[in-house]
Amino acid sequence: MTTVIQAYRYALDPTPRQRRALASHCGAARYAYNWGLQLVQQRLEQRRAGEDIEVPWTLPTLRWQWNRAKHQVAPWWAENSRDAYASGLDGLARALKNFSDSKAGRRKGRRMGFPRPKRKGRCRDACRFTTGPLRVEADRHHITLPRLGNLKTHESTRKLARRLEQGTARIIAAAISRTADRWFVSFTVEVQRTIPASNRKPSVVGVDVGVRHLAVLSTGQAIPNPRALERSLRKLSRLNRQLHHHKPGSSHRHQSRRRLAQVHARAANLRRDALHKLTRSLATEHGTIVVEQLNLAGMVRNRRLARALSDSGLAELRRQLTYKTSWYGSRLIVADPFYPSSKTCSACRWVKAKLTLAERTFCCEACGLRIDRDLNAARNLAKLAQYVAQSGWETPNARGADRKTQPAGQVAMKREAGTEPRSGKTGTVQPQGRTA
């Protein structure tokens, strides 16, 4: 038995009164964050002016300052749970730490700037609870949170409730958040799991994520999008076109934006649920699963809806597979971003110079193979597992999963038309280029 931390997320069906309370808690978190930030800035200035004064930089010091000041600056503080303020201050303490770590070179990745104030409607509405009642009720359709009380969940909490009843799970925190107009609760749960060392299944499967299908497997199986998702996607592309017909800054534009965000959130939820089913069956039925690497540079730059959707689907697939392969003892291989899985012939390894997103069929000019584009890509991904086996290279699951592999002798190629940085050049891209 191993203890893993798992999140269980449920959409809520709050009453109008509860909606106000949810918004109030997120507002309180934002208020405390901004208050703390102002205090830090003020103290920094005083220090720069030569005063010997302490600058609160950590959660305990920020909380201490807040508790001293709250009666003055927020006489209404008792309306919300104290976790709301702690949650905002915690966010600030993390942002401050990220900033100083980044400045000192202790943090990888993008350079972090000094925290900026959070503006209503411009930041994510969220608030985290760690104390007080955090419960999933026995009727499996209600949860209880501090101050907010009994809230109805949109879907059944069966899976979590069952684990809690069996005593194999313990709730350690709960966070509320809003996406478009929908409220969610996410429980952070400590779960007892038996994790097999390896499921030793010899089967290898390559998975290509798309927009037309939820996924195409190298076995030839195409997993269709659920019907509700299909509908959401059609609506999404229509709204996306409409948005650009309205003038920026107009109320029509504002309205379309809001509507678009709602449909986007719904589509993402539907796809996440469908992917959960898929990733579970992949991780239990196969020994090795190969997926594409997400092209982050391309993701930021690409503004085409189809590409953005398939990228977010891929990100979600990988996220789920990363932990599920470790739960079920299978292994995950992530292809190098420059592995030309779409442009290579899965029969003879001939590489096509250019393949646009509109070309749905891959036609090999060397051996004459005609095959569905996504299936071809999935087969190439599955082939990658052989190279990996030959070189003795293994992907550890979980955090190590983003290590990259590339079969020897492959030319570093641009991944796909339309995903390259804006340079517009064709030909090869140096692998170093991806971190630039």
Q: Which residues bind Zn ion (CB under 5 A)?
A: 345, 347-348, 350, 364, 366-367, 369
For the bound state, the minimum distance from the C-beta of residue 367 to Zn ion, rounded and expressed in Å, comes to: 3
28: left (phi over 0), alpha (psi -120 to 50) or beta: alpha
Nearer to Zn ion, 228 or 347 (CB): 347
For the bound state, the minimum distance from the C-beta of residue 358 to Zn ion, rounded and expressed in Å, comes to: 21
30 with 123: CB under 8 angstroms?
Answer: yes
For the bound state, the minimum distance from the C-beta of residue 347 to Zn ion, rounded and expressed in Å, comes to: 5
For the bound state, the minimum distance from the C-beta of residue 372 to Zn ion, rounded and expressed in Å, comes to: 14
Place of tokens 């509320």: 176
For the bound state, the minimum distance from the C-beta of residue 346 to Zn ion, rounded and expressed in Å, comes to: 8
Between CA 152 and CA 184 the distance in angstroms is 11
Comparing C-alpha atoms, which of 116, 145, 211, 102 is closest to residue 12? 145
Between CA 146 and CA 378 the distance in angstroms is 47
CA angle (280 as vertex; 276, 282 as ends), nearest 5: 120
Nearer to Zn ion, 189 or 378 (CB): 378
User: Could you tell me the two tokens for 272?
Assistant: 């996440």
Q: Which of 208, 311, 416, 420 is catalytic?
A: 208
Nearer to Zn ion, 24 or 342 (CB): 342
* Amino acid (1-letter code) at residue 349: R
Active site residue 311: no
Place of tokens 């996924």: 215
For the bound state, the minimum distance from the C-beta of residue 382 to Zn ion, rounded and expressed in Å, comes to: 16
Nearer to Zn ion, 195 or 366 (CB): 366
128: left (phi over 0), alpha (psi -120 to 50) or beta: beta
Both ends of the chain: CA-CA distance in Å? 42
Between CA 406 and CA 380 the distance in angstroms is 12
For the bound state, the minimum distance from the C-beta of residue 365 to Zn ion, rounded and expressed in Å, comes to: 8
Active site residue 208: yes
151 with 143: CB under 8 angstroms?
Answer: yes
Between CA 391 and CA 383 the distance in angstroms is 13
Q: Where are the beta strands (DSSP E) in 121-166?
A: 126-129, 135-136, 142-145, 149-152
Nearer to Zn ion, 44 or 347 (CB): 347
Nearer to Zn ion, 300 or 348 (CB): 348
Between CA 334 and CA 125 the distance in angstroms is 33
Nearer to Zn ion, 348 or 398 (CB): 348
Nearer to Zn ion, 310 or 376 (CB): 376
Q: Which of 83, 90, 316, 374 is catalytic?
A: 374
Nearer to Zn ion, 300 or 366 (CB): 366
Between CA 416 and CA 3 the distance in angstroms is 41
How many Cβ atoms are within 10 Å of 155's Cβ, its own excluded?
13
321: left (phi over 0), alpha (psi -120 to 50) or beta: alpha
For the bound state, the minimum distance from the C-beta of residue 343 to Zn ion, rounded and expressed in Å, comes to: 11
222 with 205: CB under 8 angstroms?
Answer: no
Helices and strands (DSSP H and E) totals, the chain: 9, 14
Between CA 234 and CA 212 the distance in angstroms is 11
For the bound state, the minimum distance from the C-beta of residue 18 to Zn ion, rounded and expressed in Å, comes to: 60
User: Could you tell me the two tokens for 47?
Assistant: 């220090």
Q: Which of 83, 90, 125, 292 is catalytic?
A: 292
Return the active site residues.
208, 292, 374
